[in-house]
Structure 1
């Protein structure tokens, strides 16, 4: 241990009752004051000898005050976040009705059949772009074709799928 740490630790043990009172006045709780005194000891262990501390008692009390104020600020931030949070009922999305679920299921089936009806290369481009979320340049490199050809395949696939959906009355 370096000399600052040793002297501050000895001073902490000697001044502990006064430090507890100071911290309790700031945070308002004996339990929190005890916890923060332990935190204070941990902070002291990381103090270096350079530069030497001239007034170790003032340093210790300032450190205790800072630890207590840090706890209050953290508590205030926590409360601000959780008090401002919307109620769970406002966050949860409502479930779709059984009718909406059935219609969506039918539309998905139509779309899957439309994708199956695409030529193989066009289907591959569509899946790489819309499912795998690859960029056109990445698809071009992956399949060894020009970006304009990838764009044409993609346009054809989208047109084909939209036409199939319109044929079945999907708006």
Structure 2
């Protein structure tokens, strides 16, 4: 850690500025905080491997910009947690009460109906990703499509599930 102190000092003294830069790109302060932390870790790893970073502030700003742009390109599809994803995760966990079980069963029925209404390829991509644990690359190969198109199909299915959950009548 002692070798990384210059990077740490720059990170600590410029963190608020770094977060502002990232937030101006991604539009979310919480995600910007994550991006800045990721940039710090990347810079620390580079520094610890023996590469001397002569100008750490511009270097970190460049890493932050690239991570933020990568998030805009790929993160929204792959990494964001939304209502439908949370509902699915809740369904997979052990319910703590009969009310939770009933609520989860209702959400599951809504998701099942939403998935049943989707085109087969969209539904299959979603099931492979969420239930089969397949990577987008594996889905693309299985469906003979590009990785970007696989991501679009999964995103389309997630949006359909989320929309169905949003439109469902709220429970009492």
Please say which structure displays the higher CA radius of gyration: 1
